[in-house]
């Protein structure tokens, strides 16, 4: 790999996609503010007086770690990410397996999704979303000639998804599995999968999800609760009913930053899964729309960057960029849908915004790699060799 001497030491903000950078900065910044607002009461209750900023400090630390690792990730050329994409994926599979081992994986609220690192907990499924994008992008490029063939094109990745699904569903973490499955299918489709084969597989996947829901009574209860959360507002509909009350109370302009009532022990997981409900109550419809626009802009720019890479025959980079857009878009859509009562309650956070170390770090790494794709595109436009 040959780099022009003048470009390796003179990177400025003008060398990157401005819309992508500023949408990410605003989402991360607003997320930091809203995590603090949503967590003040629970922090004082669980940690004692004087610890109102407990979750803010931790989220800030996670963000700094994410930015630092992201900076390192940005220095790695996309050719190396493609060459070694299998290894992060295998590490992710290993970590998901470790989670299921009693005594190693931490169980919280009936789910075993975390590995204790003493100071913090690591959630491998968040990093698997990152790893799967690069692994499937590499697979798609290598198997491009067979993407219209069920046995040679889809069957190998299907076997991988069965193994991954086994690990995730035993945690259980259906939400993460749905997001990862969506990523895989989207990348395969963008890579040129036969449309008839794609539609047929999507149909089978929908049937599989339906079976998974029917096999677990609590999942069916969540769907019923979504249809009418106030029918059982003190049990299965509790979270959603209070989320909807937060949206209703916020109105157009909100009650003002810090003025949420629902975050005062009424709305569980206000600083994680239901952060958007607090945003709706405090910043109103306008605040929610700002968040939606920022996510839409980030996803659109991801696809534009991917398209620019594809034009230059950098197909792995193109699929990685668009895969990250699909990941952020799907997870944000599901989280927002849950908060608004459109989708059943799932343990998925709002990317870039919700409290959580693993999620924030994984998102920052993804953004750094996305910026790397954009930067390499721009260097090629200038005539430099990558």
The Cα–Cα gap between 136 and 318 comes to 12
If one counts the domains in the chain, the total is: 1
Report yes or no: 192 and 200 within 8 Å, Cβ to Cβ.
no
- 142 in a structural domain: yes
Question: What averages of pLDDT result for each successive group of 10 residues across the chain (386 residues)?
Answer: 46 77 96 94 77 89 96 96 95 94 79 83 94 96 86 88 92 89 94 87 85 76 75 76 91 91 85 94 96 97 96 95 96 94 86 94 97 93 81
> How far is CA 289 from each of CA 127, 208, 251, rounded to the nearest angstrom?
28, 34, 12
pLDDT in tens, 247-265: 999 999 999 998 899 888 7
Tokens standing for residue 53: 């900023």
pLDDT in tens, 42-68: 888 777 666 788 899 999 999 999 999
- 317 in a structural domain: yes
Q: How high is the pLDDT of residue 6? A: 44
- 5 in a structural domain: no
Tokens standing for residue 116: 């204790």
- 2 in a structural domain: no
- 1 in a structural domain: no
- 386 in a structural domain: no
Range of the domain at 315: 15-381
Token pair 């009913």 in the structure block, residue: 241
The answer for residues whose C-beta is within 8 angstroms of residue 310's C-beta and 6 or more apart is 318
Q: pTM for the complete prediction?
A: 0.92
- 4 in a structural domain: no
Under DSSP, the state recorded for 254 is -
**For residue 209, how far is the Cα from the chain centroid?**
20
- 3 in a structural domain: no
**For residue 280, how far is the Cα from the chain centroid?**
21
């Amino acid at each position: 790999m040959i780099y022009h001497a003048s470009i390796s030491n003179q990177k400025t903000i003008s060398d990157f996609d401005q819309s992508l950078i500023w949408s990410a900065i605003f989402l991360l910044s607003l997320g930091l503010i809203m995590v603090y607002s949503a967590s003040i009461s629970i922090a004082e209750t669980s940690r004692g007086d004087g610890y109102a900023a407990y979750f803010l400090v931790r989220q800030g630390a996670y963000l700094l770690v994410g930015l630092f690792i992201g900076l390192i990730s940005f220095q790695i050329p996309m050719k190396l990410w493609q060459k070694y994409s299998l290894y992060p994926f295998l590490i992710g599979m290993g970590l998901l397996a470790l989670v299921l081992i009693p005594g190693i994986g931490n169980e919280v609220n009936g789910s075993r999704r975390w590995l204790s690192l003493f100071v913090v907990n690591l959630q491998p499924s968040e990093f698997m979303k990152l790893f799967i994008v690069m692994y499937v992008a590499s697979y798609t490029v290598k198997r491009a000639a067979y993407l219209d063939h069920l046995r040679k094109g889809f069957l190998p990745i299907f076997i991988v998804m069965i193994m991954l699904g086994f690990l995730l569903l035993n945690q259980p973490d259906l939400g993460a599995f749905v997001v990862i499955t969506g990523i895989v299918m989207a990348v395969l489709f963008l890579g040129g999968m036969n449309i008839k084969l794609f539609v047929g597989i999507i149909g089978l996947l929908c049937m599989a999800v339906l079976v998974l829901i029917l096999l677990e009574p609590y999942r069916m209860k969540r769907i019923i609760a979504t249809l009418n959360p106030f029918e059982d507002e003190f049990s299965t509909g509790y979270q959603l009913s209070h989320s909807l009350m937060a949206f209703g109370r916020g109105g157009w302009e909100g009650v003002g930053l810090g003025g949420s009532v629902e975050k005062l022990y009424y709305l569980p997981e206000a600083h994680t899964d239901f952060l958007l409900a607090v945003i709706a109550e405090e910043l109103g419809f306008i605040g929610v729309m700002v968040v939606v626009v920022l996510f839409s802009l980030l996803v659109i720019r991801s696809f534009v960057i991917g398209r620019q890479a594809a034009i230059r025959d950098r197909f792995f980079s193109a699929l990685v960029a668009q895969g990250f857009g699909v990941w952020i878009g799907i997870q944000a859509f599901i989280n927002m849908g849950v908060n608004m009562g459109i989708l059943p309650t799932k343990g998925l956070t709002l990317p870039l915004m919700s409290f959580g170390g693993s999620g924030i770090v994984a998102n920052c790494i993804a953004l750094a790699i996305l910026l790397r794709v954009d930067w390499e595109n721009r260097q090629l436009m200038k005539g430099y060799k990558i």
